Amino acid sequence: MAILVCGGAGYIGSHTVKELVNTYDVVVLDNLTTGFEQLIDSKATFVKGDLGDPAILDEIFTTHDIDAVFHFAANSLVGESVQNPLKYYRNNVSATLVLLEKMIEHGVKRFIFSSTAATYGIPDTDMITEKTTTNPINPYGRSKLMIEQILADLAHVHDFQYVVLRYFNAAGAHESGEIGESHDPESHLIPIVLQHLLGQRDKIAVFGTDYETADGTCVRDYIHVTDLARAHILSYEGMASGKITNKTYNLGNGAGYSVKEIIETCEQISGKKATIEYAERRAGDPAALVASSQKINEELGWKPAFDLNTIISNAWAWHSK
């Protein structure tokens, strides 16, 4: 039995592959548009291609005994999704439909889906649970919620089961220092701050200082990428053992940190001082997004192993390399 990881050359996908290969045969499908081949663990079988390509999926599903698909392959930039919605509906929705059709055709019945806090939009609560109303405010969040709804419809009529994982702010790098966060161009806070502290950027911009938060900057829930990876494996094993089926879980630390607090922690860990420019709010940013992950804790025993200091220390080690 093998696991197909779509998007296994990307940030969260590659960290999950690194955990999976210890126990399972892994096939990675990635078109390398945003991923990097060198992030894929050498123990995995790599197929370069598009998950919207039915012929490649036929080939994978006939040559490997795939028991589950972990689906990370997506575009994930909120701002870009507003500017180019068709790209998001094509890559995140249409291509996923091809994958799901081929899974059903080949009798592959377990699916772990990378979803996002962006499905909640601007929540009216400080602590988001899975029962918090979903109301995405951009095409990225909508594209993910559409697939969530499609999964529920499929599970209703097919021999098919799924777990949806709604990530909050994925951050950090593998403890080995071998793989870490890499986007081109980079838009995420922690890598931008660390690149600046390494002298690769002149300054950093803080987007908005007038939010209704303790220090006026946005609050997010940062979760170590290895904790995310382990949640995928627990979800798969929970389904395979019959313990759970058709679930949606939040993945976060349950603690919020402001943009200013993140910068301060990066300064402490690196021993360097940042040059900060206070800028306008970035479009589409909610003031605070903090997750309750109580449900996956109660049902699968998952809880984050890494705190913010470890997240940033691991990221600093990776970026410094």
29 counts as binding ligand UDP under rule CB under 6 A: no
* Residue with the CB atom nearest ligand UDP in the bound state: 218
Contact with ligand UDP (CB under 6 A) among 38, 83, 187, 309: 187
Q: If binding is defined by CB under 6 A, does position 206 make contact with ligand UDP? A: yes
Which three-class secondary structure string do you get for 167-223?
Answer: ECEEECCCCCCCCCCCCCCCCCHHHHHHHHHCCCCCCEEEECCCCCCCCCCCEECEE
Nearest-approach distance from CB 192 to ligand UDP, in angstroms: 4
Q: Which is nearer to ligand UDP, 21 or 190 (by Cβ)?
A: 190
For the CB of residue 188, give the shortest distance to ligand UDP in the complex, in Å: 4
- Contact with ligand UDP (CB under 6 A) among 44, 163, 218, 223: 218
Q: How many angstroms separate the CA atoms of 153 and 22, rounded?
A: 33
Residue count, binding to ligand UDP (CB under 6 A): 15
Q: Is 140 an annotated catalytic residue?
A: yes
- Applying CB under 6 A, among 87, 90, 183, 188 the residue interacting with ligand UDP is 188
Distance (Å, whole) CA 246 – CA 102: 19
Q: Which is nearer to ligand UDP, 25 or 80 (CB)?
A: 80
Q: How far is the CB of 65 from ligand UDP (least distance, A)?
A: 36
Residue type, 310: T
Nearest to 113 by CA among 153, 60, 73, 171: 73
Residue among 238 and 254 whose Cβ is closer to ligand UDP: 254
CA-wise closest residue to 141 among 101, 114, 170: 114
Side-chain-side CA neighbours of residue 60 (13 Å):
31
Give the contacts of 227 (CB within 8 A, at least 6 positions apart).
251, 302, 304, 305, 306
Cα gap 137→81, rounded to integer Å = 11
Q: Could you say which residues in the range 72-101 bind ligand UDP, by CB under 6 A?
A: 78
Footprint (CB under 6 A) of ligand UDP, residues 252-271: 259
Distance CA 168, CA 256 (A): 10
- Measured from the CB atom, is 148 or 285 closer to ligand UDP? 285
CB of residue 6 to ligand UDP, shortest distance in Å? 21
Given the residues 24, 120, 140, 236, the one annotated as active site: 140
- Which of 230, 7, 25 is closest to 99 using CA atoms? 7
Q: If binding is defined by CB under 6 A, does position 115 make contact with ligand UDP?
A: no
Residue 256, C-beta contacts closer than 8 angstroms, at least 6 positions apart: 219, 220, 221, 288, 289, 290
Query: Does residue 205 touch ligand UDP according to CB under 6 A?
Result: yes
Binding ligand UDP by CB under 6 A: which of 112, 189, 231, 315? Answer: 189
Distance of CA 85 to the CA centre of its chain: 19
Q: Which residue do the tokens 């306008």 mark?
A: 280
Is residue 201 involved in binding ligand UDP (CB under 6 A)? Answer: no
Binding mask 137-176 for ligand UDP (x = CB under 6 A): --------------------------------x-------
Residues 273-312 that bind ligand UDP (CB under 6 A): 282, 285
Kindly state the smallest distance separating residue 84's Cβ from ligand UDP, in Å.
17
| Residue 192 φ/ψ region, left for φ over 0, alpha for ψ in the -120 to 50 degree band, beta for the rest | alpha
The pair phi, psi for residue 291, each rounded to 5°, is: -100, 140
Supply the residues annotated as catalytic. Answer: 140
Q: Which residues in this chain contact ligand UDP in the complex, by CB under 6 A? A: 78, 169, 187-189, 192, 204-207, 218, 220, 259, 282, 285
